[in-house]
Structure 1
Amino acid sequence: MPRSFPVTLNGKTLHVIMRFSLRMLVLCLFSAFGKLGFARSLAALLLLSVVVCIVTAIMRRERPFAGTLTNWDEAAVYGLLCALTVTVSQVAPS
């Protein structure tokens, strides 16, 4: 008997994964040319992405713990990546 994933892999989930991948590529490219440095620019853009995803999820009336990936899940990942970026940039020597 195969295991079931907590998230159903359907068209909407794959759309969210592709959107996340493309947005991360764009954020990394913009951060590479930022005047504040890569880490600070990336952290700021990730925080902005969190806000955009939350507003989008509220406007679309998406449920936070649905069976598929939603903007809420995307916002959570961006928030975690933002926290990780800030933590690593503070620990790493300049």
Structure 2
Amino acid sequence: MLDTIEFMLKVLFFVLSMIWIGKIMILRTDKQIVINPLLIAISSILVILPQSHDGVELVGMSIQNIRITLYCIYEVIVITGIYATNQKNRIF
């Protein structure tokens, strides 16, 4: 079940990343200065974490649960950023 959730989050990660790349290329806002470093940090942690499905744990959580949590955080940040760049002076 966690494999299915992680796969769906990977697909959503890819789609939202493409949308965010389009926003970066089209719009130049101060909000992106705050959001982009967060997204880069989360993406780099996701790349470093192994794809292990064995019982490997880090900080008391399995690697797969950490990956799922990071995907969720990334997607919430991107969705918030998309909303923030569409609004005029409402958020941030």
TM bucket, shorter chain: 0.3 to 0.5
Bigger share in strand: 2
TM-score in terms of structure 2 length: 0.41
Considering Cα pairs closer than 8 Å and 6+ residues apart, tell me whether 1 or 2 has the greater RCO: 2
Normalised by the length of structure 1, the TM-score is 0.40
